Amino acid sequence: MFRRFLSTTTSLRPTVFALSTKLGKSAIAVVRISGPQARYIYHKLTRSTNQPKNRVASVRKLHSTETDKPSILDEALTLYLPGPKTYTGEDMLELHLHGGIAIIRAVMNSIQTLHSPNEGIIIRQADRGEFSRQAFVNGRLDLTELEGINEMINSETEQQRLANLSSSSGKTKLVFKKWRQDILEEIANLTTIIDFGEDHDLAETENLINNVIANIQILESEIKQYLKKVRSLEILLNGIKLTLLGPPNAGKSSILNTLVNKDAAIVSEIAGTTRDALDIPCEIGGFKVVIGDTAGIRMLEQADVIEREGIKRAKERSFLADLVIIVLDPTTAGNTEELKNHLADLIKEKKNILVVLNKQDLYPDKVDAMIDQYSEQLNLTKEFFQVVSCSTGDGMETLQELLVNKFKTLSETDQSDPVLVSSRIQDILENDILYGFNEFYKWAKQDDVVVATDCLTLSVEGIGKITGEYIDLDEILDVVFSNFCIGK
């Protein structure tokens, strides 16, 4: 009677298991099991003769499968999920354990002892990414969704999460699926020329080829725009490079510390405290930002040898930045000629610039006058200026809002939702799909329909590399004959 409930499913497919949470002392730890022996493992660990309730969480005592060990391992939440409607497409079992390292190891060891290849029971620890590989093999997720899930797990900021959500939720898959179908339809049109060319006169054939060329050109433009957008959004992954420039003691380090909300840079009344560039990664408004604090820029003859090198590096860093913030102190009458000359060079290079007038608390009644004065001196319109006080915090919230708006413009997320795809996908778009289009044009213009069709097939196969879905002859024939009338 007892053995009837513990009957196993003999299968050459392995059942794999792994700790799905980080190993370490914690409130809970989740062990995930996937494969044909998932239910068998449940019965052996719980010593229950009753079948687990599908998709219902239940608390069960887990027992050791080794006779020479103490019986009870833990009291855990168990969840049995029958395939195929699971993440992997196979039967799955989740064990939500108490998160002690000894408990985790004891349960994992007990699962491993159930491995018995002579009885057709193959149980082993999962390799890296094996649950996701099962999901792909079983058709639950395509490669774009799986890559999106992995990237979303590794997301550091809100904007990275949103960008990767498009792939992990299947939206990216739909884009590639549409492109794939569009190309297949054009291949089908060309196939009718190859297989039924005698039914068309020359004018019809030429017209059909021209229509295919026009449709592929529209699709090519769409893919290029997509690729351009994706590449511009890589700034979300690498971080927006923001460089702080200004004369010594203007408050660059204070603004840096306020933006990153910690004492990252030394703040001192002594001019020239910062001698080298200091990069601090942080998150501002959901964006990953790398802020560079640099040496104060002043006339080189006033600086020592080390400070001169710092000024040189500060200027070089500003040319590489996505956004340059010029920090000025209107309460001092220091010589800013060196800074003004460098600012003119930045403007020539069309760099994104924002001028922050610091120490507002020292000139509360002269804010507009100061903006007018520096606007004329630096030859910049008033929208380039923001007034703040690091001492009182006035204007800092507005500055952050202004920065976030600039980040949205830089990353092109102000017009549409962010989308990220892997460098692998970008390479295939460029070197397989668009390359196939270019070759198609060349051979189509030479009226070699067969080779031109093969070139479009190369593009479809490129999309197959992206999604894991490959082309077969039946698909093309289905498209060809779907346009035939019934009875033809």
For residue 230, the model assigns a pLDDT of 86
State how far the Cα of 161 lies from the Cα of 149, in Å rounded to an integer.
10
CATH number listed for the domain at residues 161-235+422-467:
1.20.120.430
How many other CB atoms are found less than 10 A from the CB of residue 438? 11
Running DSSP on this structure, what letter comes out for residue 335?
-
Specify which residues 75 forms β-bridges with: 61
Which pLDDT score is estimated for 401?
A: 94
Instruction: Report the candidate in 278, 200, 209 with the shortest Cα–Cα distance to residue 243.
Output: 278
Q: What is the pLDDT of residue 1?
A: 34
Are 163 and 236 in contact by the 8 Å Cβ rule? The answer is yes
CA angle 134, 136, 139 (to 5 degrees): 105
Q: What is the pLDDT along the chain (488 residues), one digit of tens a residue?
A: 334 334 455 567 899 999 999 888 899 999 999 999 999 999 999 999 899 999 999 999 999 988 766 689 999 999 999 999 999 999 999 999 999 999 999 999 999 999 999 998 999 999 988 999 999 889 898 888 888 888 888 888 888 888 888 778 888 889 999 999 999 999 988 887 776 655 556 777 788 889 999 999 999 999 999 998 888 778 888 889 999 998 888 888 888 888 887 554 433 343 444 444 578 889 998 999 999 888 777 655 555 667 677 778 888 889 999 999 999 999 886 667 778 888 889 999 999 999 999 999 999 999 999 999 999 888 899 999 999 998 899 999 999 999 999 998 888 777 767 778 888 889 999 999 999 999 999 999 888 889 999 999 999 999 988 888 765 545 444 544 444 433 33
Q: 93 forms bridges with which residues in the sheet?
A: 33, 80
* pLDDT of 273: 44
Report how far residue 240's alpha carbon sits from residue 386's, in angstroms, rounded to the nearest whole number.
20
User: Are the C-beta atoms of residues 281 and 156 closer than 8 Å to each other?
Assistant: no
Cα separation of 66 and 92, whole Å? 23
Element (H, E) at 440: helix 434-445
Is the Cα torsion angle 361, 365, 369, 375 positive or negative in sign?
Answer: positive
Contact predicate 371/385, CB 8 Å: yes
State the CATH class of domain 15-140: alpha beta
Q: At 144, which helix (H) or strand (E)?
A: helix 143-153
The CATH classification of domain 239-411, taken from the options 1.20.1340.10, 3.30.70.270, 3.40.50.11540, 3.40.50.300: 3.40.50.300
- In our burial notation (b when 16+ CB lie closer than 10 A, e otherwise), range 294-321 reads bbbbbeeeebeeebeebbebbbebbeeb
> Where do the structural domains in the chain lie, given as residue ranges?
15-140, 161-235+422-467, 239-411
CA distance 141 to 144: 8
